[in-house]
């Protein structure tokens, strides 16, 4: 790097005709600055991605290694009830949990931005602090809280002579996981939205105020439209996060093994297939399908946001 640098600097003596020389120098520097990231990016992201796609096209056999099977694994996945049930479960999760979480985040962000609250700093930090708790520890902690032995909910119910609430049964498990994820991420999304709200020029709604618009009206017609990019960002991150759900179910599985099966979430399924069932190729196909599903849903989210924008 320094050799080229020295050459170029030497050429800088004739800076009168800088046009092309400078542009070249700039371009070379551009490539050099981008290079380290691109190398790691290719090695750790592009190559594994293609390798995964490659693997997914083979099928392992008991004798004689693996054979090419085309889209056989994909066909199998699309008929695999365990996989489909997992995807459906995540779709259910997406439809219920994401709107609740983002709705709460937006509500808190708007409340904080409105200046109507005392103890703003304390409130903001308290809502955000669960984000600093690793997902695994959040799941461990909530697992104990939900528990029948020394969970405070069960203790409270017992003290009042009521039956202990059953958070970890077939019926309620998905909602219990939704609660953990909501608890962890409301604050994170709130901060993104709050920061976006803060950067709206107040002039935008001073006029509305003068015209007598109330806080709710201002929030609905001015603030929310203005932070659409931030809302979109949080929505896409939530889609990605939901489909990748792994930590919480994997931890709760040790507490309720009968409720959370090997394929409770697609990700858990891919993990179990690859590392317990030793079906690497099929697991690669599942992971690939999952990636495609995420991209499709994120794309739909983006597209619908764009369309709404155009319509208005």
Partner 1 sequence: MTSQPVTTQPGGGATYDAPAPPVGPRSKRRRASVHGRPNTILTIAVLGAVAYFLLPLWWLLVASTKSNTALFSSFGLWFADDLNIVQNLQDVFTFQRGIFLTWIRNTVLYAVTSAVGAAALATAAGYAFAKLRFRGSTVLFATILGAIMVPLTALAIPTYLLFARVGLTDTPWAIILPSLVSPFGVYLMRVYAAGAIPDSLLEAARVDGASERRIFFSIALRLLAPGFVTVLLFALVATWNNYFLPLIMLSSPEWYPLTVGLAQWQSTSQAGSGSQALFSMVIMGSLVSIIPLMIAFLFLQRYWQSGLATGGVKQ
Residue ranges in 67-126 that form contacts with partner 1 under rule CB under 8 A: 108, 111, 114-119, 122-123, 125-126
Single out the residue of 79, 199, 211, 258 in contact with partner 1 (rule: CB under 8 A): 199
Residues 9-28 that bind partner 1 (CB under 8 A): 9, 12, 15, 18, 22-23, 25-28
C-alpha–C-alpha distance, residues 269 and 297, integer Å? 20
Helices 247-255 and 135-146 sit at what angle, rounded to 10 degrees? 30
Q: Which stretch binds partner 1 (CB under 8 A): 76-84, 93-101, 150-158, 164-172?
A: 150-158
Q: Which stretch binds partner 1 (CB under 8 A): 69-77, 85-93, 160-168, 286-294?
A: 286-294
Does residue 229 bind partner 1 (CB under 8 A)? yes
Single out the residue of 161, 201, 211, 258 in contact with partner 1 (rule: CB under 8 A): 201
Task: DSSP letter for 162, please.
Answer: P
Give the CB-side neighbour count of residue 238, counting CA atoms within 13 A. Answer: 32
3-state secondary structure of 58: strand
Nearer to partner 1, 99 or 214 (CB): 214
Burial of 155 (0-12, 13-18, 19+ CB in 10 A): middle
> Which tokens go with 204?
């935008």
Residues 39-58 that bind partner 1 (CB under 8 A): 40-41, 43-45, 47-49, 51-52, 55
Single out the residue of 84, 200, 213, 262 in contact with partner 1 (rule: CB under 8 A): 200
Does residue 216 bind partner 1 (CB under 8 A)? no
Which secondary-structure segment (H or E) carries 110?
helix 81-114
C-alpha–C-alpha distance, residues 52 and 94, integer Å? 26
Does residue 140 bind partner 1 (CB under 8 A)? yes
- By rule CB under 8 A, what count of residues binds partner 1? 126
């Amino acid at each position: 790097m320094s050799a080229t640098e020295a050459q170029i600097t030497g050429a800088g003596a004739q800076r009168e005709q800088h046009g092309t020389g400078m542009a070249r120098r700039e371009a070379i520097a551009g490539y050099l600055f981008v290079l380290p990231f691109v190398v790691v990016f290719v090695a750790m992201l592009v190559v594994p991605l293609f390798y995964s796609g490659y693997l997914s096209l083979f099928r392992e056999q008991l004798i004689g290694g693996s054979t090419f099977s085309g889209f056989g694994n994909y066909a199998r996945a699309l008929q695999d009830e365990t996989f489909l049930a997992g995807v459906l479960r995540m779709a259910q999760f997406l439809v219920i949990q994401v709107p609740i979480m983002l709705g709460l985040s937006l509500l808190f962000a708007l409340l904080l931005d409105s200046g109507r609250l005392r103890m703003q700093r304390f409130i903001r930090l308290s809502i955000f602090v669960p984000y600093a708790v690793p997902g695994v520890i959040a799941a461990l902690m909530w697992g104990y809280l939900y528990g029948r032995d020394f969970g405070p909910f069960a203790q409270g119910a017992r003290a009042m002579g009521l039956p202990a609430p059953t958070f970890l049964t077939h019926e309620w498990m998905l909602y219990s996981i939704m609660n953990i994820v909501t608890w962890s991420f409301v604050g994170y999304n709130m901060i993104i939205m709050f920061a976006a709200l803060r950067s709206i020029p107040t002039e935008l709604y001073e006029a509305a105020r003068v015209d007598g618009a109330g806080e709710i009206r201002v929030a609905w017609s001015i603030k929310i439209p203005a932070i659409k990019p931030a809302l979109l960002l949080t929505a896409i991150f939530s889609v990605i996060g939901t489909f990748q759900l792994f930590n919480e179910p994997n931890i709760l599985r040790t507490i309720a093994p009968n409720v959370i099966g090997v394929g409770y979430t697609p990700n858990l399924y891919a993990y179990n297939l690859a590392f317990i069932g030793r079906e690497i190729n099929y697991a690669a196909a599942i992971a690939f399908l999952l990636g495609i599903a995420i991209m499709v849903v994120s794309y739909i989210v983006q597209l619908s946001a764009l369309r709404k924008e155009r319509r208005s």
